[in-house]
Structure formats: C-alpha cells, structure tokens
C-alpha cells in the first residue's frame, strides 16, 4: 500500500521544522550528539516527546524486521501530537548550553529514526 499524501505532507511539515532548528544549532557550532540525557529533560512536553520517540523507534525497528516500511511513516503521525506540544511549550535555543544541546539532540534523535527511510532534502509541504 503506497504512503498516503496526507502522511507525506505530515512528514514534510514535521521534519522541515526539525531541520530548521538543527541547522540553526549547527550554525551556532552546537555539537549535536543525538544522545539524549533524560536527567536534563525538565519540561513535561519534552519528557512526553522523548517517551513517544523511544516507543516509535522500537516499533520502527520491528517494522524493518518484517519489511513493513509503509507503517514507518505512520509512526510520524502517531508522535506528531507530542512533537507539536514540544514546539508549543518548549524553547529549544535556551541560554543553558547543556539543556539546549539536549533539546537539539532530542530533535536529532527523532530525525535519525527516519533518516534511513526519508530523503529530507526532497520533502516539500
């Protein structure tokens, strides 16, 4: 079953925003590790997003094992409410460098979950 246009639009929208923040961080020479330090997650929205992302990552790995690649895209729609809440309630580029790095790393963690399946450079919304 081909991936629905709605899901492609959703993926494009989510990852454009994530890419913009990661690009901004790179311009500020923030070394993005992709590793998230749970002790630095202080806001409920970022804790919720990280929990949703970890669950989605596990499910994506299971989809790959059984060659159900179309289901991978649906994982974006499942975690989108947590992503939206994160963007609405959490300031990523804060003054505390450790917290800023951790929040950018959280976004990088999400992006990297889909990097093997999505060519972010061609996504348009």
pTM: 0.84
Q: φ and ψ at 98, to 5 degrees?
A: -65, -40
pLDDT tens per residue, range 71-121? 877 787 889 899 999 999 999 999 999 999 999 999 999 988 877 766 655
- State residue 32's pLDDT score: 85
Domains and CATH numbers, the chain: 5-122 (1.10.730)
The pLDDT-based confidence of 125 (bands split at 50, 70, 90) is very low
Q: Would you tell me how many other CB atoms lie within 10 Å of the CB of residue 104?
A: 24
pLDDT tens per residue, range 6-56? 767 777 788 888 989 999 999 998 888 879 999 999 999 999 999 999 999
């Amino acid at each position: 079953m081909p991936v629905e246009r709605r899901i492609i639009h959703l993926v494009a929208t989510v990852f454009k925003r994530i890419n913009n923040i990661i690009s901004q961080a790179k311009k500020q020479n923030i070394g993005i590790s992709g590793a998230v330090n749970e002790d630095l997650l202080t806001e409920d929205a970022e804790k919720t997003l990280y929990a949703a992302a970890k669950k989605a990552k596990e499910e994506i790995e299971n989809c790959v094992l059984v060659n159900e690649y179309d289901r991978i895209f649906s994982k974006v729609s499942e975690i989108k409410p947590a992503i939206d809440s994160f963007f609405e309630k959490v300031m990523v580029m804060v003054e505390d460098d450790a917290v800023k790095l951790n929040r950018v790393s959280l976004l990088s963690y999400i992006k990297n979950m889909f990097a093997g399946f999505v060519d972010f450079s061609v996504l348009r919304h």
